[in-house]
Structure 1
């Protein structure tokens, strides 16, 4: 059986191939856009709203312009030129995407719209070009029925979009880097041009070869293993985030979605590189008997700084719940994490793990928040009550959050304080930087009705050997914040994105600890800055609500 032109009905035409591939590429690039812009702008609802809006607008404009020109300009060669031009722009994304992203990030806009210029600049042009394909293909259809031709073309394009969505989400993102995925789409576009152009139009050989070399050269230049942060040891796209391991001098740092998450001193793997991780030891001062902290749960693994130190320092059993299995593999491969009877790792969602476990803990450390991507299900009263139910009679909850401690940008900290205060009788909070910039703020909640003073904690620090001097950390104890203007977070209303919104554009200060040459001397702390007790590194970070 064959069509009127002698072609098998199962053999697609060149326009059909072009439409299918344009659907694959447009939807694949849309999903890829989220991974590319997340390190700079986060992956909040505003970022994804900008991505979806820009892609729809660019496709609509492409459909409109393509429809106006299709009657007089549509040809298979023009389809090929559109595809090859899109591939060339993809090569530009691979080569200069980070530069374009950082440039667009400097445009002063309200935080909710901060990602809009970057998404438009990076993905507007190629999506606009792909919008031409469908009307051109409808015009070139062999069918004389306009409605039937249009319906068929858009069906083929939609099937391509479905393939692009599922293929990118479940196959490409978990296995390849952003640059490698871009190369795949560029190669797909070039391969389509070859399939529909040769041998009928050999005159296009030069431009095909040129764009192919541009793609390969851009990928090679972007894969040399060096970034502005240092030497890239390993990088990948996980199902949850972009992950990089970077060495700079003697320090190895884990970056998640472009943010410094954990760091390890290659010469002293158990040393606290980031100042905020020293605060993990504060519960050993708050406890009436620190020796009774026998079982500890960390929700969030990262580079496992806290769990490794607890296993090294204390006679405690440590469970770690990490949702991303790739993070666990990287911690074992690059951060010297070894499972044992005292350090057990569970790959699961933290709330789901707490709901299903029958264990109780003396300390639960919540370390799963980022500066702009917070799993709301781990912030609510219902979660805090669940965590409390899994604590021993004298158990404590420690929450590492990122927020300003007061003033503009402090809404998330104050809302989380109010939420935890609703579940626990006594709540403490500690700043990790003397400035009011966005920083790690540590909240500790206890089941003890009595609130210890700073003087009492300093006295305990002098008397107790908890493996690290915490005098400077104790002195950063803050008074309870104002909470009457922020919501208590609940499962049915946890506006975390809105609360993070006020931090956009503010400095994110990460304090780096000095060498702990005397870390085992109770009551002492090696400091490089008399005001903060640490050497300070400021990271300018855009936080998108």
Structure 2
């Protein structure tokens, strides 16, 4: 593609530069919006649709208003002021973005549109200001005709948007945190404003540029406004897939992914189950005819590697773990006492692709890659379950850690996943981990064996077998669904996972924690359960740095 004349041929004019940078900044802020909004509202198709729609609406409004004013007000100094005001708003996002985000959660909107007020408040104003740049740039263009000037500006702005999209996605997000990325865009806007007022800047221009730079530096230096989360932030980064934080509170170290607690470790006892739902991972050793037959285990999804670490320590089994995010693997090794060995092998890959290319046969496949608001649909369908079935031994099992509700409107994803697994495997069982109808971890077990394993059988085996953990309380949650209602069977061609997850938006997600002492021999006392239920209506504020 040829560059627009006068832009990339060594004769860059300042209005062209402003248009180019506005394209970079608008697209970069759009991608950044997803990272800022996702911890509160999720990153579903509805959130991204809202972000795209708001950005387009704000740009359109800016184009319209800017076009009306361009013929009498367009000049380089006004372009500079527009860029500086945009940089001021970016500084506000860096300093108080979390507080602004929190102020929007109480709006009585349907769950699908819950993110709309936040996106409008946080990103509407700067995007509106950036919309002025293109019509001003067209007015200041040296092109002879209106059509030529408009085409020139569209081309320059689009090139800027392409650079902003690829640069933010492949360079900034993997390398920097949200605040640092905002700072980069702010400095870029200020630097462009400085170019626009050269070669003879006025005193007011110099003061304004210097003041906005100081504001940007101060916003990054002071960190986010508001209350820091409980505990100490040990590590924080943006990965290509999610926001990642490691936070210590007492002896408990917790991995947060997109603002949600994903895994936890007792630093004084690294293989102890801190979250109650991870104890259920041992249920396959009661479902198996002979627990010693579980020789090969595959975990799809690593996180803090709670299950894989315990399995490698407790059982004579080889454990493979597939984790798509390389940063998660690095964090697990550095902060969660994960050490790769002949018994515990880690693979950086997509779970379905790994299974497709693998020639191994597994006795147990554990699906632990689902989140409350972000579920890779390709790991939920009949075709995936059939692929897993092909990779299982004759009496193999699939264990899925699903976040949903066991009943009520918020149970749609659970019921659909149950229907999907039931379409492939002879028997499917489920174990809600927090009772009632709250959003919680529901552990699902699918077996290739035709024989139904009853609750009484599980209790007898729990008493007789020494599997390193007493699961008598977990067996209380045993259920087999007779009717999943109108739940769809998910297929590659139709897996409306976002729609199924939609009723959970804005609802409380309950995670039970175990006590500080855990019995590791069969038949012992059940550990203390501590209910912990963080509410999405009260987002965890990013820490001050």
TM over 0.5: yes
State the superposition RMSD in angstroms.
Answer: 1.8
Distance, in Å, in 2 between the alignment partners of 1:80 and 1:499 is 47
Q: CA deviation at 1:202?
A: 2.8
CA distance in 1, matches of 2:377, 2:518: 39
Query: Are positions 1:254 and 2:255 aligned together?
Result: yes
Note the C-alpha offset of 1:337. Answer: 0.5
SS at match of 1:512: strand
How far is 1:349 from its partner? 0.5
Deviation >6 Å, runs of 4+: 6-9, 223-226
Is the 1:398–1:443 contact (alpha carbons within 8 Å) kept by the matching residues of 2?
yes
User: In the alignment, is residue 153 of structure 1 matched against residue 153 of structure 2?
Assistant: yes
Tell whether 2:288 aligns with 1:287.
yes
Moved more, 496-505 or 221-230: 221-230
Between 191-200 and 353-362, report the one with greater CA deviation.
191-200
Q: Is the CA contact 2:7–2:16 (under 8 Å) kept in the aligned structure 1?
A: no
Partner of 1:102: 102
Map residues 58-69 of structure 1 onto 2, 5 A cutoff: 58-69=58-69
Match of 1:531 in 2: none
Asked if 1:376 corresponds to 2:371, the answer is: no
Pair 1:211-2:212 in alignment = yes
**Cα shift readout 1:445-465 (whole Å, capped 9, x = no counterpart):** 111111122122111111111
**5+ residue gaps in structure 2?**
1-5, 539-545
Secondary structure, counterpart of 1:364 in structure 2: strand
Using the TM superposition, give the Cα deviation of residue 504 of structure 1 relative to its aligned residue in structure 2, in angstroms.
Answer: 1.9
When residues 380 and 525 of structure 1 are mapped into structure 2, their CA distance, relative to the original with a 3 A threshold, is: same
Q: Which residue of 1 aligns with 2:12?
A: 12
For residues 306-385 of structure 1, the aligned pairs below 5 Å read 306-385=307-386
Contact 1:250 1:267 in 2 (8 A): yes
Contact 1:174-1:239 within 8 A present in 2 as well: yes
Q: Deviations along 1:282-305, whole A, 9 cap, x unmatched?
A: 011111111111110000000000
Alignment of 1:12-31 (within 5 A): 12-31=12-31
Residue 225 of structure 1, CA deviation: 13
Corresponding residue for 2:268? Answer: 267
Moved more, 155-164 or 136-145: 136-145
SS at 2:467's partner residue? coil
The answer to whether structure 1 residue 536 and structure 2 residue 531 are counterparts is yes
**In structure 2, what is the Cα distance between the partners aligned to 1:8 and 1:379?**
47
- Give the match for residue 163 of structure 1: 163
Q: Distance in 2 between matches of 1:375 and 1:391?
A: 21
Return the offset for 1:30.
Answer: 0.6
3-state SS in 2 of match to 1:301: coil
- Kindly tell me: are residues 81 and 355 of structure 1, through their superposed partners in 2, closer, same or farther at Cα, counting changes over 3 Å? same
The residue number in structure 1 matching 2:467 is 466
Q: Distance in 1 between matches of 2:62 and 2:7?
A: 30
Rounded Cα–Cα distance in structure 1 between residues aligned with 2:399 and 2:228: 34
How far 1:372 sits from its partner (Å)? 0.6
Equivalent residue number for residue 449 of structure 2:
448
Question: Aligned-pair distance for 1:542?
Answer: 6.9
Offset, 1:484: 3.0
Judge conservation of contact 1:519–1:525 (CA < 8 Å) in 2: no
Distance in structure 2 (CA, Å) of the matches to 1:44 and 1:382 = 22
**8 Å Cα contact 1:461/1:523 also seen in 2:** no
Q: Which residue is 2:543 aligned to?
A: none
Kept in 1: contact 2:41–2:506 (CA 8 A): no
CA displacement 1:284-330 (0-9 Å, x = unmatched): 11111111111100000000000000011111110000011111011
Matched-pair contact (CA < 8 Å) for 1:468–1:525: no
Matches of 1:218 and 1:341, distance apart in 2: 47
Residues 1:18 and 1:420: Cα distance change in structure 2 (over 3 Å): same
Mean Cα deviation higher: 49-58 or 448-457: 448-457
Q: Is the 8 A contact 1:426 1:451 kept in 2?
A: yes
- Cα shift readout 1:102-127 (whole Å, capped 9, x = no counterpart): 21122121011111111111100000
Shift of 1:401: 0.4
Match of 2:91 in 1: 91
Q: Summarize the alignment of residues 115-126 of structure 1 with structure 2, pairs less than 5 Å apart.
A: 115-126=115-126
Are the structure 2 counterparts of residues 542 and 343 from structure 1 closer, same or farther at C-alpha, using a change threshold of 3 Å? farther
Maintained 8 Å contact 2:99/2:225: no
Write the distance in 1 (CA, Å) between the matches of 2:459 and 2:47. Answer: 44
1:380–1:491 Cα contact (<8 Å) kept = yes
CA displacement, residues 138-182 of structure 1 (integer Å, 9 cap, x when unaligned)? 111223322211211121111111110110111111111111110
Aligned partners of 1:41 and 1:542 also within 8 Å: no
* Structure 1 equivalent of residue 542 of structure 2: none
Q: After the TM superposition, which of the residue ranges 450-459 and 306-315 deviates more from structure 2? A: 450-459
Q: TM-score, normalised by structure 2?
A: 0.95
Q: Secondary structure at the match of 1:398?
A: strand
The equivalent of 2:82 in structure 1 is 82
Confirm or deny: 8 A CA contact 1:226 1:232 kept in the other structure.
Answer: no
On the 8 A contact 2:465/2:522 being kept in 1, the answer is: no
| 3-state SS of paired residue (1:245) | strand
| Rounded Cα–Cα distance in structure 2 between residues aligned with 1:194 and 1:91 | 17
| Structure 1 segment 228-243 matched on structure 2, within 5 A | 228-243=229-244
- TM-superposed deviation, 1:28: 0.5
Residues 470 and 524 of structure 1 are in contact (CA less than 8 Å); yes or no, is this contact kept in structure 2? no
How many residue pairs get matched?
532
Aligned residues of 1:225 and 1:232 also touching (Cα < 8 A):
no
Q: CA deviation at 1:9?
A: 6.6
Q: Secondary structure at the match of 1:487?
A: coil
SS of match in other structure, 1:535: strand
| 1:8-60 C-alpha deviation (Å, 9 max, x unpaired) | 97321111111111010001101111111111111111111101100000000
**Displacement, 1:479?**
3.5
Relative to structure 1, is the Cα distance of residues 8 and 46 closer, same or farther in structure 2, using a 3 angstrom cutoff?
Answer: closer
- Could you state the TM-score of these two structures normalised by the residue count of structure 1? 0.95
How far residue 481 of structure 1 moved from its aligned partner, in angstroms, is 5.2
2:300 corresponds in structure 1 to: 299
